[in-house]
């Protein structure tokens, strides 16, 4: 079946501009996650949505970052007034829900990412 | 100090070699452990997952978890050039959902 999709695949923007990154999760997955991967670094958690619960925003690095999830499906990550240090690959993942079960189907499945370059 | 430490390598081995990849962690609350494989310019894909201490085998891959030492390993037997990728360890608490904490990733190259 279709996996997690993200758009755009690449984005180049000027410092100070706002950008929006989109994520379409796997159909039926109620949990959605955003991570950031900087050059040579592992993935850094940003935000987590689960159903209608309040999102876990504990990983957002500053108030310039925000995310929303409409209709329990598509999510948009917005970065305002972009800075050069925001340059990274932004990865979205989805899962069936609370990953308390030890089954691969409940684990997180990643999209291909959006490569953001701030010049 | 990072919660999860992983040697970034790079690691280069000949085809057929046994590969050992490792992570250490500091948070004793972690109970679920995963290994992801990431090819260049692709998203990570789930390779192995384990709960608490013990071993798990899947084909040429074996994952080991030693909670007493806060140490996890991934072994790849009979390595192939197609195994060339970045391998990321990840872990999650048992009481909170969602957030995975990742290691830095190890770049592996298997040459023919």
Q: How far lies B37's CA from each of A13, A49, A110, B61, in Å? A: 29, 24, 11, 12
Report the largest interatomic distance among the alpha carbons of chain B, rounded to a whole angstrom.
Answer: 44
d(CA B84, CA A30) in angstroms, rounded, equals 32
d(CA A38, CA A22) in angstroms, rounded, equals 18
Give the model confidence (pLDDT) of A7-51 as tens digits: 999 999 999 999 999 999 999 888 999 999 998 778 999 999 988
Contacts of A102 in chain B (CB under 8 A): 32, 49, 51
Residue A96 touches partner B, C-beta closer than 8 Å: no
The two tokens of residue A59 are: 């990983």
Give the model confidence (pLDDT) of B7-54 as tens digits: 878 999 999 999 999 999 999 989 889 999 999 989 999 999 888 788
Cβ(A23)–Cβ(A34) below 8 Å: yes
Beta bridge partners of A77: A21, A67
The two tokens of residue B54 are: 């013990």
State the pLDDT at residue B1: 77
- In a 3-state reduction of DSSP, which class is residue B4? strand
Mutate to test the interface with A, among B3, B23, B50, B97 (most CBs of A within 10 A): B97
> Which pLDDT band, with edges at 50, 70 and 90, does A104 fall under?
low
């Amino acid at each position: 079946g279709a996996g997690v999709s993200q758009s755009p695949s690449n984005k180049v923007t000027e410092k100070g501009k706002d950008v929006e990154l989109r994520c379409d999760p796997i159909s039926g997955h109620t949990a959605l996650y955003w991570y950031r991967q900087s050059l040579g670094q592992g993935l850094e958690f940003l935000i987590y949505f689960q159903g209608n619960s309040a999102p876990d925003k504990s990983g957002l690095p500053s108030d310039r970052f925000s995310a929303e999830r409409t209709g329990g499906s598509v999510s948009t990550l917005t970065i305002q007034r972009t800075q050069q240090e925001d340059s990274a690959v932004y990865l979205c993942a989805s899962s069936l829900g609370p990953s308390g079960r030890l089954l691969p189907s409940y684990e997180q499945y990643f999209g291909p990412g959006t490569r953001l370059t701030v010049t | 100090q990072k919660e999860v430490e992983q040697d970034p390598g790079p690691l280069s081995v000949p085809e057929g070699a046994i590969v050992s990849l490792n992570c250490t962690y500091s948070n004793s609350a972690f109970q679920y452990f995963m290994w992801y494989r990431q090819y260049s310019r692709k998203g990570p894909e789930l390779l192995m997952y384990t709960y608490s201490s013990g071993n798990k085998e899947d084909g040429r891959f074996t994952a080991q978890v030693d909670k007493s030492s806060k140490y996890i390993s991934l072994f790849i037997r009979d390595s192939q050039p197609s195994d060339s990728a970045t391998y990321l360890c990840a872990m999650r608490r048992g009481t909170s959902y969602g957030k995975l904490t990742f290691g830095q990733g190890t770049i592996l190259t298997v040459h023919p």
